[in-house]
Amino acid sequence: MNIPVKVTFLGTGTSLGVPIIGCDCPVCTSTDPRDNRLRTSALIQYGHLTLLIDAGPDFRQQMIRNHIKNIDAILLTHEHKDHVSGLDDIRALNFLHHKAIDIYAEKRVHDSIRQDFAYVFSIIQYPGIPQMKLHLIDPDPFEIDGLPIVPIRVLHYKLPILGFRFGDFTYITDANYIDQEQMEKIKGSKILVINALRWEPHLSHYSFPEVFKIIQEIGPEKAYLTHLSHQAGMHQDLLKKMPDGIEVAYDGLQIEC
């Protein structure tokens, strides 16, 4: 079944964002809006669902500037703050739609959320706190409202995290290792989004040369790179260096599959 997927890149920057506080490098001082990168997040319109992947510290700004008024669920890749710290701001959606937000994540991520947002789950419920409905997932396929989603297990240094495949589209962030079994789950995707931090090797993220090899093995029709740091270089310069079929994503970019 060919289920339509539309993707809006809400943020394409690494954990510090671009520009970085106090940095005067050419990328951080660029006037090209494509060089301004909020923390990585994506809106996935998958069939009749509107899903958010990760809700970092720029969540509020991303919702407002993209005129997003509702999401059906949030999928969390892992518990690092640049991917979850904006969850308090789901309160606006709670107030607007009078319902809790469904959040899908692994048990380890659930535990982190319950610790970091303890006031949400306390016995005494303070008025106006975020309303979250946590759903436990693991690397096995699952469904949301009848639509199939395939988790992809990847490693972020030594931390196991999840990417997600929606029909012909796969989204992976914060990875520097994918084993062969998981690679097979990705193969056949028409579009692949994957992280590439910079040109030089990094402890927990793919570099550009490393991710080019991964993309070549998977063989999507097109790949988009996300989670870039200021060390990656200027967007306009990156475009000239990309192999055929690979593009650099930027905040606000929309694609369809």
**Residue 127 is part of which domain span?**
5-256
The CATH code of the domain that includes 51 is 3.60.15.10
Query: Are 18 and 27 spatial neighbours (Cβ–Cβ below 8 Å)?
Result: yes
Whether the Cβ atoms of residue 254 and residue 42 lie closer than 8 Å to each other: no
Say how far apart CA 93 and CA 238 lie, in whole Å: 37
What is the average pLDDT across 137-148?
Answer: 97
pLDDT tens digits, one per residue of 244-256 = 999 999 999 999 9
**Rounded to whole angstroms, what are the CA distances from 49 to 72, 87, 114, 133, 216?**
6, 19, 26, 17, 30
* One-letter amino acid of 110: H
Per-residue pLDDT for 1 more than 70?
A: no
Q: What is the mean pLDDT of residues 137-152?
A: 97
pLDDT of 134 reads 98
> 89-118 pLDDT, tens per residue?
999 999 999 999 999 999 999 999 999 999
Looking at residue 70, what is its pLDDT?
A: 95
This prediction's pTM = 0.96
> Among 7-21, 59-73, 119-133, 147-161, which stretch is predicted with the lowest mean pLDDT?
119-133
Number of domains in the chain: 1
